[in-house]
Structure 1
């Protein structure tokens, strides 16, 4: 055993490496396909607002100077968009950075964290790293969220309730009524953290953001959002959290690094927020293509979870890692899910129409 292992906390050894997905370069080196459809990381196929191109041309000062550590201009714009106070907003190097900040600030060894399962792995990893225990609430056989089980779990008064809505990787979501049930069952001892990374794709019909519901409670809460998905800024790493009150946000500010969001990311996020038309095009395309790909998968008699994200979760009926390797040979990158009990499931991102055509042709050939 390496002596270096003695220097690392035991909780670190309990973590599994994060499955960040393959890059285009890695697939080219491995198989050299004629073309590649990158559909493994839920990226936006249209990309960011065109206004960002003009912004980049005058960005030299952003490279030379430290960014605004408070991100005040961006926080003001976010607050106006979501009708909250500026002092409730905290910025992060992606929303995953804020997951780390919250866990380090709140969790203690022995604390309990309730989350949905299968989960975004970092929802569990940061809790484990802090010595907390994770209670998983698994989806039902039809891959919908088990609201009764989730309500029962939060009545046990965990330190934190953390889940994504829509759910990643499954795509399932809580309706307004179901979300209200869960929140009403949660006590004051529990910090409620709702990860709404895919909310822009989900709005409408029986989905609502948790913000208006949480805003009417006096419980401690956080809502997380990101610019990586619908806004197309995954490479710049920027997200934000909305806290129940300025006091919680101020305490979390003490835990994050002072310059955790760079100047270019702040400027890009401001430009992206201002271009509502571009966001609408992104969301409309994702919804249209999501329905088309879902119908294709169901026609192939594959079990597909209903989804409100820019992705679909389906059962390939065999070991997902081996199945995905067959798609990689044809230049299609998707993500095999590796959490226990779901190793026959694959998450495919919704790309451009041509990328989705590439995926469907490759899948047809593989089946």
Structure 2
């Protein structure tokens, strides 16, 4: 009685919890570096908000999330009627797929990918066209351009890429978007944009904002804003009409009241966000230097994580780290099962990871 498309999905690799590792190996301490969480946590202002917010638990939230949408719109210089909220940005991936994709439609995405980029499309009966990274794990821009010229129903990719960390420069992003036809919905997942800004990276928002075609940019409060447990994300949509249609597909209260209030507080604390990003960049460089010094291939990254080749089955390799109390994520997509994604944690967590890895090697 279950649709055939469901049987084509693989279980999502959500990573291990601290409790699971403690039950399995009982290490003296644990560094949780498998899910790209923010080691500094959310803005300290959230503590006072939670103590005074009993009504947030009792009442239904604003289904439109007006106050939060206004704040997001002001931050990104778009109208609030272009902003849609989700139970994490992954919820919006599901909303978009259900609203747009039909059986037999083609979706172009980068590979290896965040698995839900493919899963929701597969569930709708769409065909996945993967564009693999280059041998040096950078994005194959020419292949991506060639793929979008075939006029797929949707172009969906993350920038920076998850799990790899590679990114499109403003120039390459413009080249790709120039090749997209009006028949293709452009969806750019920018879950890690806060960590990537600067250097040769730019958000797609200013580039897409100048183009008269349908597009959606996804963001999240789970990463740099430290609200992973509250599940709150948002999309910025090219025009209010498209956002209104997507609104009909989402569940009415998909952004809970506590999450909305916490997101508002997090947006207002620019100082804390800057501290989070600065720590991630400094520690990412330190961990990357360590990995390369051990002769391991490491992908270039603008996220709060690194993707490296452990040169053996990653699931087996990771068990050795788990015994030492270090949680990382073995990648399980075809062709990349010797790769591991490690989140950038606090300095002490990163020291723990490097010491365990040194011992394992």
TM-score (norm 2): 1.00
Shift of 1:59: 1.1
List per-residue Cα deviations over 1:280-337 (Å, max 9, x = no partner). 0000000000000000000000000010000000000000000000000000000000
Partner of 1:3: none
Q: Distance in 2 between matches of 1:340 and 1:106?
A: 27
Structure 1 residue matching 2:46: 3-state secondary structure: helix
Shift of 1:205: 1.1
Partner of 1:174: 168
Partner of 1:43: 37
Task: List runs of 5+ in structure 1 lacking aligned partners.
Answer: 1-6
Task: List runs of 5+ in structure 2 lacking aligned partners.
Answer: none
Shift of 1:44: 0.1
Partner of 1:291: 285
Partner of 2:64: 70
Partner of 2:204: 210
Partner of 1:254: 248
Partner of 2:96: 102
The alignment of Structure 1 onto Structure 2 pairs a total of residues equal to: 361
Q: Distance in 1 between matches of 2:267 and 2:124?
A: 34
Structure 2 residue matching 1:247: 3-state secondary structure: helix
Partner of 1:140: 134
Q: Distance in 2 between matches of 1:224 and 1:342?
A: 26
Partner of 1:151: 145
Mapping of 1:347-366 within 5 angstroms?
347-366=341-360
Q: Does 1:193 align with 2:158?
A: no
Q: Distance in 1 between matches of 2:131 and 2:267?
A: 34
Q: Distance in 2 between matches of 1:261 and 1:142?
A: 39
Residue of structure 1 aligned with 2:109, choices 108, 115, 133: 115
Shift of 1:219: 1.1
Mapping of 1:304-319 within 5 angstroms?
304-319=298-313
Shift of 1:204: 0.2
Q: Distance in 1 between matches of 2:57 and 2:308?
A: 43
Q: Distance in 2 between matches of 1:49 and 1:216?
A: 33
Partner of 1:345: 339
Q: Please report the RMSD computed on the Cα atoms of aligned residues, expressed in angstroms.
A: 0.2
Shift of 1:85: 0.4
List per-residue Cα deviations over 1:49-73 (Å, max 9, x = no partner). 0000000011110111000000000
